[in-house]
Structure 1
Amino acid sequence: MGDSNDIEFCKVVKRYGSVTAVDGLNFAVRRGSFHAFLGGSGCGKTTTLRMIAGFEQPSEGHVLLAGRNVAGVPAFQRPVNMVFQHYALFPHMTVSENIAYGLRYRTPRIDTRQQRRLADEALEMVRLSGFGSRRPSELSGGQQQRVALARALVNKPTVLLLDEPLAALDRKLRKEMQSELLRLQREVGITFVLVTHDQEEALSMSDSISVMRDGTIVQTATPEQLYETPASRYVADFIGESNVIEGTVSAVSASVVSLRTAEGLQLNCPPTPSGQALTVNAPGCIAVRPEAIDIRAAGSTLARDVRLDGQVEDRIYLGNTTEYRVRTQPFGILCVRVPRQQETQPLEHGAPVQVGWDQASGLAMTF
């Protein structure tokens, strides 16, 4: 915690009657960074965002913005603006009037000519110069989203909050807007905080991500660290996709964990460096990413530490990759992804195959 952070939560709890929505959050968001809160419905991410914005007050603990304790400070007095999922544009106002709306209430008061100038600058920032006289109903979904961004940025907030702002857009437009948000964040240099349930969105846009579950943060890390070294099975399942093999820990060293499965197989792999330490005779699991597994037609030579016979249940063409669902005798269905350029001969439904991976490709972790 310190002067380099725009947001700090210190032991923050939020209760609604007997329900604890957020339970003892401690985290900091570095100034000028792009941070995401990621989790399923009901995990507490939106409540956390609303406490930053000032729409909710913590039941316990402290929220600091730019080093200032903002307990009891109403939303309109905080150096924070929010972009909502459905944009909340005023349909009876022009685009320029929507953007300038918040400027009317600035102290000291800004005259009308200055408001128009600042609105035009904000429109240029989001690449909508010349659209100021239109109504929101005359804009596409992506254009409306840019207007909402311009309205939030025109007040030059310390922190910009994004509450699932891309959820209403189609996939292609969502990709384009992700690039726009990244460009904007780099250009304006302020702290962006995103709330989303879309792990691909969080991975592609954020400098850091907090994965939330049941009102707590289970891991905060860079996108690369979350994907490559998840702290627990929950994170491994939530960030991307993993093949998870359960068992009992039979041996632990600094570099290798041995796991005995219910079928009596002994598997070895390194422990995740981010998670809770594993202990002998305790339950544990090994997570293996689909792209780390090789697949070959039965009878081929597969030089991998772990090799299993199986049968193709499904083949799913995804353009740049092909995904196979393979039924194996000891572990049930395993997911395998093959880059399109490496797939020399497609394997059809029912084909006997061999799958395998190297010991170092898996990570041992707790549940």
Structure 2
Amino acid sequence: MELMLERIEKQVGAQTHLYPLDLTLVPRAVTVLLGATQAGKTSLMRLMAGLDAPSQGRVVADGQDVTGRPVRERNVSMVYQQFINYPSMTVADNIASPLKLRAAAPDKRGIAARVNELAAKLHIEPFLQRLPAELSGGQQQRVALARALAKRAPLMLLDEPLVNLDYKLREELRDELSQLFASGESTVVYATTEPTEALLLGGYTAVLDAGELLQYGPTAEVFHKPKSIRVARAFSDPPMNLVAGSAATLGVTLAADLNLSVPLPAARTPVVTIGIRAAALRVRERAGDLMLAGKVELAEISGSDTFVHVDTAIGELVMQLTGVHQFSLGEAIPVYLNPSQVYVFDAAGDLLVAPTSEVR
């Protein structure tokens, strides 16, 4: 489906849920709606589905204005945070239900083949004759996903479908969904608060914040070249380190007379902000690095990474180190950064310079 939102706006009473925005989804691809809670992701998705009508603007699907058309008249499938299955139906019947409703004379053999195909892809084959109440939460969510996929709707909307699952299940289902979406059967819109999820799903990302659409484009491009500090904050986990600086002849000067050799554009503001992703900071030196003396304030092990909060002359920085590392509170450690891996934003928060080398 080719879906266009033209000057869409949503107000509820005195509250603005969505400010005027234009968004044209890339058809047969995954678009991730990325933003914090109350960024406007669900409001936007409900307008796409036809569950709500915009206060202003219009929704165009395959060249037709469908702004006032209710959801029952649109060929859309949806999966919510809270999985919804028919409790009196078996897993197999749950998955088959949209196929049976759509066909005047259902092809039982074809439906059974589609159900078995999806059950195999989502690893729920052993449970096809069970009722949803007999399944775990992760298994029930897989059933809801399989039912949505079975419909083969041209537009598929997923509103944080994995948020209520534990870490291991989320990881498994993310991988499975990436493979299922790669078929290009539907235009997929996937809402999440997690930057990591957006990167894993790939495709395209629309960054929202407080009801505003800040940037839309290929996911890797939005991640590596955020248009503003607001986009960089939304697309960084942990949050990007932000440090005040001033433009100098040969680059940027930070506190403690630390100079970064960063090529700045001729038209620039004297006051700038440096952005450093947590993964760009190291405790071991590489060619071209600058060193800051640091003192450990907090060290957290999360999964296969260690997050270290360090007090330095330019402020508190957060490092993301691969692997499990042990640090003592108050321990003195070096912090290395490379000027080629920093962002520079102007006084208005707009991007001036993106890194010339990627974090590795």
Normalising TM by the smaller chain, what interval?
0.7 to 0.9
- The runs of at least 4 aligned residues of structure 1 exceeding 6 Å deviation read none
The question of whether the paired residues in 1 share the 8 Å contact of 2:41 and 2:208 is answered with yes
- The residue type paired with residue 354 of structure 1 is P
CA displacement at 1:159 relative to structure 2: 1.0
Match of 1:245 in 2: 243
Match of 2:307 in 1: 323
Output the TM-score relative to the length of structure 2.
0.84
Match of 1:287 in 2: 275
Match of 1:168 in 2: 164
Alpha-carbon displacement from aligned partner over 1:212-249 (angstroms, at most 9, x marks no partner): 01211112233322332222222222222321102344
Q: 1:82 aligns with which of 75, 78, 83?
A: 78
Q: 2:141 is paired with a residue of what secondary structure? A: helix
Alpha-carbon displacement from aligned partner over 1:70-115 (angstroms, at most 9, x marks no partner): 1211101112110111121121222233234334543x6234xx35
Cα distance between partner residues in 1 of 2:108 and 2:145: 16
CA displacement at 1:333 relative to structure 2: 1.3
CA displacement at 1:174 relative to structure 2: 0.6
The question of whether the paired residues in 1 share the 8 Å contact of 2:29 and 2:184 is answered with no
Structure 1 residue 356 and structure 2 residue 356: aligned? Answer: no
Structure 1 residue 213 and structure 2 residue 209: aligned? Answer: yes
The question of whether the paired residues in 1 share the 8 Å contact of 2:262 and 2:339 is answered with yes
Match of 1:93 in 2: 89
Alpha-carbon displacement from aligned partner over 1:176-208 (angstroms, at most 9, x marks no partner): 101111121123632211011122112211311
Q: 1:126 is paired with a residue of what secondary structure? A: helix
Q: 2:127 is paired with a residue of what secondary structure? A: coil
Cα distance between partner residues in 2 of 1:271 and 1:218: 23
Structure 1 unmatched runs, 5+: none
Q: 1:68 aligns with which of 64, 69, 86?
A: 64
- The residue type paired with residue 46 of structure 1 is T
Match of 2:358 in 1: none
Cα distance between partner residues in 1 of 2:20 and 2:151: 32
Q: 2:43 aligns with which of 43, 47, 51?
A: 47
Q: 2:292 is paired with a residue of what secondary structure? A: strand
Cα distance between partner residues in 2 of 1:280 and 1:129: 60
Deviates further, 51-60 or 143-152: 143-152
Structure 1 residue 307 and structure 2 residue 296: aligned? Answer: no
Following superposition of structure 1 onto structure 2, how do residues 193-272 of structure 1 map, counting pairs within 5 Å?
193-240=189-236, 241=238, 242-249=240-247, 258-261=251-254, 266-270=259-263
Q: Go from structure 1 to structure 2 and tell me whether the alpha carbon gap of 1:302 and 1:327 turns closer, same or farther (over 3 Å shift).
A: farther
Cα distance between partner residues in 2 of 1:279 and 1:7: 38
Match of 2:139 in 1: 143
Structure 1 residue 59 and structure 2 residue 52: aligned? Answer: no
Q: Go from structure 1 to structure 2 and tell me whether the alpha carbon gap of 1:354 and 1:153 turns closer, same or farther (over 3 Å shift).
A: closer
Q: 1:295 is paired with a residue of what secondary structure? A: coil
Following superposition of structure 1 onto structure 2, how do residues 110-189 of structure 1 map, counting pairs within 5 Å?
110-111=105-106, 114=107, 117-118=110-111, 120-127=113-120, 128-129=124-125, 131-187=127-183, 189=185
CA displacement at 1:69 relative to structure 2: 1.7
Cα distance between partner residues in 2 of 1:144 and 1:278: 56
Q: Go from structure 1 to structure 2 and tell me whether the alpha carbon gap of 1:317 and 1:166 turns closer, same or farther (over 3 Å shift).
A: closer
The question of whether the paired residues in 1 share the 8 Å contact of 2:205 and 2:217 is answered with yes
Cα distance between partner residues in 2 of 1:355 and 1:6: 48
State the percentage of identical aligned residues.
32
The number of residue pairs the alignment matches comes to: 342
Q: 1:187 is paired with a residue of what secondary structure? A: coil
Output the TM-score relative to the length of structure 1.
0.83
The question of whether the paired residues in 2 share the 8 Å contact of 1:119 and 1:154 is answered with no
Match of 1:333 in 2: 316
Cα distance between partner residues in 1 of 2:306 and 2:143: 39
Cα distance between partner residues in 2 of 1:179 and 1:319: 17
Cα distance between partner residues in 1 of 2:295 and 2:175: 40
The root-mean-square deviation of aligned C-alpha atoms, in Å, is: 2.8
Deviates further, 235-244 or 156-165: 235-244
Structure 1 residue 20 and structure 2 residue 16: aligned? Answer: yes
CA displacement at 1:280 relative to structure 2: 2.2
Cα distance between partner residues in 2 of 1:27 and 1:99: 32
Deviates further, 8-17 or 92-101: 92-101
